[in-house]
Amino acid sequence: MNSERLSSINKVAGGTEEQQKIVHETYEQEFLTEKFIEKGEREKTPEEKEIIAALVMELNDFLGKYGAKPLNLEETHIHILDKSKMSQEELENFEKTYPDSFGFYQAEEQGVVISGWDVLNHLELANMIVHELIHFLSYGSAIIDKATLEESKNLKINIHIHRTGLSVQKIMGENRVSYFNDINEAVTEELTKRFGERFKKIPLLAEEYENVLKVREKYSNPDILATKIRTIDKPESIVTETMVKGYGYKEHRENLNSLIKEIYEKRKDDFASEEEIFTIFAKAAMTGEVKELATLMDSTLGAGTFKKIARPKEDDDK
């Protein structure tokens, strides 16, 4: 396994070596600082804490196969919100800011926030957490924009997150623009899907995952991530209904898988399967080394193909 890191930030660029050291130490201290979101966070149940501990152990091992460096995550790095603890304004602001998301990873805060409502069961919550923790454990970097040394010798550093997995962020005037965000989410959710087999090893999730496998087979749908049987009492009978939830970022994942398939069809002599090509995408997200991926795409699909998938997105775009 790769040597353990002390925060999600693998690299700091810009400034002097001393300034970079201070930035690393700042994120490391942020990682170690326990936080509780006063406006909205709920306490986790003992079962949730046990599940999170198991997920972290399995994820570090799973992602290590793609080159990720392990991180000693705790359940305190994950914040589960309860809408009953939020004001109407806070809830509306959350839903407006994250309209299509069940949660998000905060590199600056070294934490993950999950919306804990409308969740079928432990397995669905686990999948939500896994997706965001993969962002947390993927390659991360920051850039020092400005550094000034005042008379007091307190170094004030203006920094921003530059890389999270394949996603690249740049400051354009007053806006923050993201590149490769769609493909980064696709790779992250595909990794979440591949991680699913590990649920069999977690006692509190094993039975729910076995139920998912049965429902997937019944409906010939491998994209189901959680299921629950609901009983509905009616005047003359009792009706059961199978509720299901599927993996997210469907369009992004379809685009990624089409891209992988196209590369494979053109390079069958070089790759034994499409999974080998997906591994190149995943390793790029986990290690930050994109040269192999960029070369593969440009040499197979034409010069400039890698840059074409960047699809810039401003932080206020939805």
pLDDT score, position 155 = 60
For the chain, give percent helix, strand, coil, nearest 5: 45, 20, 30
The domain spans of the chain are 1-204+249-318, 205-246
Q: Are 259 and 300 in contact (CB under 8 A)?
A: no
Predicted TM-score (pTM) of this structure: 0.92
> Closest Cα to residue 138, out of 178, 187, 102?
187
Q: What is the pLDDT along the chain (318 residues), one digit of tens a residue?
A: 457 899 999 999 988 899 899 999 999 999 999 988 878 999 999 999 999 999 999 999 999 999 999 999 999 999 999 988 998 988 888 888 877 778 999 999 999 999 988 899 999 999 999 999 999 999 999 998 775 544 445 566 688 899 999 999 988 777 889 999 999 999 999 999 999 999 999 999 999 999 999 999 999 999 999 998 877 666 666 666 789 999 999 999 999 999 999 999 999 999 999 999 999 999 999 999 999 999 999 999 999 999 999 977 654 443
Q: Give the whole-angstrom CA distance, residue 168 versus residue 181.
A: 7
Residue 78 sits at the vertex; the CA angle it makes with 134 and 207, to the nearest 5 degrees, is 75
Q: Are 30 and 7 in contact (CB under 8 A)?
A: yes
Question: What is the DSSP track for 167-228?
Answer: EEEEEETTEEEEESHHHHHHHHHHHHHHHGGGGGGSHHHHHHHHHHHHHHHHHT-TTEEEEE
> Closest Cα to residue 227, out of 125, 121, 129?
121
Return left, alpha or beta for 206; rule: phi > 0 is left, psi -120 to 50 is alpha, else beta. Answer: alpha
pLDDT score, position 118 = 87
279-298 burial, b at 16+ Cβ within 10 Å, e below that, comes to ebbbbbbbbbebeebeebbe
pLDDT score, position 138 = 98
Task: Calculate Rg over the CA atoms of the chain.
Answer: 21
pLDDT score, position 2 = 59
